[in-house]
Structure 1
């Protein structure tokens, strides 16, 4: 395990690790979050889960590239500046009302965004 001067961890995974097959130079962004968070982002991004084991999940674009992974509990208490932020924007040629962001965040049963206090502007 390596860390930068601010203490941000950087993991080197040995060659032959199957989890990083079909990824970009940066194999995965590792995030804290439960399986519920991984499912939410998988649907929001319209990226399939490529790892779903126990409480750990990972999503990857259908085109391949870097995976976004959530390690499951225990999730550390939040403090300080959030270091990773995911913003959703419509894909070129998509209609704003049909985007994954609209579909996921505007569902009446979306308890996840309500619990997180998410605000969504149209």
Structure 2
């Protein structure tokens, strides 16, 4: 059965970036420091060494639960504030030590002890992307609106998957991409060209 199991990060220094995200989320590191896992299972983060520096805004990013105290904590870990043209918004836009953007929401969403609130994928056509990713991940579309679509894992209380515009122009392989469970490793792309990986679940 299809299952969204992780987010893969290309990283110049995979171990250091994994350490930042482990501290940011309060998760543990496994597999020699290259995998960051939540304590009760669910979507994990995997970090792959890649010498290419980041260029342009990512099409996939994470949203963390937060508020001012959380922003201050993350800045202390090495995050920085960034301006990606967001204008006046109620959330804070930060970047990790390799420049990967993420948002800190002003209110908490999801379980009280969960810092990872949402996985956000740019989408020009959410009406097409929603059903595709529902089939690819086994998650369910739970909300449709002018801003896009929201999917949730029916078996867990982990992060939501949110997709909608505006979509950043694609100029090469996405630096962040989804990992979907499967027996035969594969490198595929969704209807809008976003790469994703298929691979076995690591123990």
2:180 aligned counterpart, secondary structure: coil
Aligned residue in 2 for 1:28: 118
Aligned residue in 1 for 2:90: none
Higher strand share: 2
Aligned residue in 1 for 2:132: 40
Distance 2:95 2:139 in 1: 29
Q: Shift of residue 87 of structure 1?
A: 3.5
Assess, with a 3 A threshold, how the Cα gap between structure 1 residues 87 and 50 changes in structure 2: closer, same or farther: same
TM-score, with normalisation over the residues of structure 1? 0.59
Matched, 1:67 2:160: yes
Higher helix share: 1
Which ranges in structure 1 are unaligned for 5 or more consecutive residues?
92-111
Which ranges in structure 2 are unaligned for 5 or more consecutive residues?
1-92, 184-189, 196-203
Q: Deviations over 1:32-79 (max 9, x none)?
A: 113111221012222111221125112111122111111x23322112
TM-score, with normalisation over the residues of structure 2? 0.38
Q: Shift of residue 88 of structure 1?
A: 2.8
Counterparts in 2 of 1:55-94, with a 5 A limit?
55-63=147-155, 64-70=157-163, 72-90=164-182
Query: How many pairs were matched up?
Result: 95
- Alignment root-mean-square deviation, CA: 3.2
The correspondence for 1:4, drawn from 72, 78, 96, is 96
Distance 1:10 1:87 in 2: 19
Assess, with a 3 A threshold, how the Cα gap between structure 1 residues 11 and 55 changes in structure 2: closer, same or farther: closer
- Spell out structure 1 runs of 4+ moving beyond 4 A: none
